[in-house]
Amino acid sequence: MNDRFAQSIALAAVLTVGPLTGAHGVEYTQVNAAASQISFTYGQMGARVYGTFGTFEAALDFDSANPTAAHATLTIELNSIDVGSSDSNSELQKPAWFNTAVYPVARFESTRVTALGNNRYAVTGKLTLKGMTRVVRAQVTLKPQNGIGVFKGEFILKRADFKVGEGEWADFGVISNDINIMFRVVAPER
């Protein structure tokens, strides 16, 4: 068999059934919330502060063969914040910060996923916090591990965009405007 004939057969196979090395993708549709995490860091008077949100719900519909059709939502219970101090956790519930009595949750919903290559994606979506909705974009990396997909990503939230930390807390020299949001979403293969 000559090389040109072999190349023609390989091309016909790719066009009719897809690439010979994995004609289908891997689907992830259920999130393991217990293994997932949402955390953040910010600057406070020159020091880095780390915190987490302990209660959230996530929904995911992701097929690695068609990432542009992916969809994700995330709802965070804002009163589940933990920055390592019960006084600070209580302060963050107040109207100047999250105002959890009026706005108990933050919600993210994806609107577009762009494949960047090597299991990296740009996820654009709408984040609603304190009744305000802004577009955010996160860089996400998928790490398949023994039948589980680990989606790790991060983005910068500008607290001024959502009026988080008003009044005496509005000074960015005390608490930074940039809040680095990091997430790890774990989902089994379907």
Whole-prediction pTM value? Answer: 0.83
How much is the CA Rg of the chain, to the nearest whole Å?
21
Question: What's residue 25's pLDDT?
Answer: 86
Number of domains making up the chain: 1
One pLDDT digit (tens) per residue for the chain, 190 residues: 444 433 333 333 333 333 333 446 899 999 999 999 999 999 999 899 999 999 999 999 999 999 999 999 999 999 999 999 999 999 999 999 999 999 999 999 999 999 999 999 999 999 999 999 999 999 999 999 999 999 999 999 999 999 999 998 998 999 999 999 999 999 999 9
Q: Is residue 56, in this structure, part of any structural domain at all? A: yes
- Single-letter amino acid code for the residue at 113: V
Residue 9 lies in a domain: no
CATH number where 155 lies:
2.40.128.110
Domain that holds residue 177: 24-188
- Those residues whose C-beta lies under 8 Å from the C-beta of residue 183, and which sit 6 or more positions away, are 36, 37, 38, 39, 74, 138, 151, 152, 153, 154
* In-domain check, residue 52: yes
> Do the domain assignments include residue 7?
no
